[in-house]
């Protein structure tokens, strides 16, 4: 009876170590495929990682959907993936999501929400977010700017 918990612990440890290795391999193999413009292979390798919550991969797949790299262009799916990544604090995804709201791609055009995402991306170190935030402010009322700032603070 005493060996049973030890066996379970060793099995779980092995599975954890093995799955971490595969996770890393799929990530790198996907990066390699993407670099050689084999977008279908990159997508195949990255899709499970995105489903597991990998923020960087969610952002990358969002970009592939936005631009139609290796799969049909699909703005709503790009927005969904950007949002998953952005909600985990990925500054580039936050910026990309702001761009989707700014341009009305896959979502209704909304300057307040775009400003909020640009502001969050800036706060997380993405310098281009500041430029876009300042640009969109020129199209907003002072009340809208205040609302966007409040939304970012409360995020």
Contact present, 101 and 129 (Cβ < 8 Å):
no
Q: Can you tell me the distance from the alpha carbon of 26 to that of 43, in angstroms, rounded to the nearest whole number?
A: 10
Q: What is the CATH number of domain 23-88?
A: 1.25.40
Q: Is the pLDDT of residue 9 over 60?
A: no
User: 58-87 pLDDT, tens per residue?
Assistant: 999 999 999 999 999 999 999 999 999 999
Give the C-alpha separation, 18 to 116, whole Å. Answer: 40
Q: What is the distance of C-alpha 48 from the center of its chain?
A: 14
pLDDT of residue 26: 87
pTM listed for this prediction: 0.83
Residue ranges of domains in the chain: 23-88, 91-155
Distances from the Cα of 84 to the Cαs of 21, 33, 43, 120, 144, in angstroms?
24, 23, 17, 14, 25
Tokens of 119: 């502001």
pLDDT tens, residue by residue, 74-120: 999 999 999 999 999 999 999 999 999 999 999 999 999 999 999 99
């Amino acid at each position: 009876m005493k060996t049973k918990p030890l066996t379970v612990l060793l099995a779980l440890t092995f599975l954890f170590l093995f799955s971490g290795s595969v996770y890393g391999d799929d990530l790198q193999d996907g990066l390699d495929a993407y670099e050689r413009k084999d977008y279908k292979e990159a997508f195949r390798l990255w899709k499970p990682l995105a489903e597991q919550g990998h923020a960087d991969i969610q952002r990358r797949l969002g970009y592939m959907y936005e631009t139609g790299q290796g799969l049909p262009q699909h703005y709503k799916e790009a927005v969904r993936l950007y949002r998953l990544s952005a909600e985990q604090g990925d500054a580039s995804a936050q910026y990309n999501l702001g761009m989707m709201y700014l341009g009305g791609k896959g979502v209704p055009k909304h300057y307040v929400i775009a400003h909020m995402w640009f502001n969050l991306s800036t706060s997380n170190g993405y310098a281009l977010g500041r430029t876009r935030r300042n640009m969109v402010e020129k199209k907003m009322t002072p009340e809208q700017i205040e609302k966007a700032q409040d939304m970012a603070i409360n995020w």
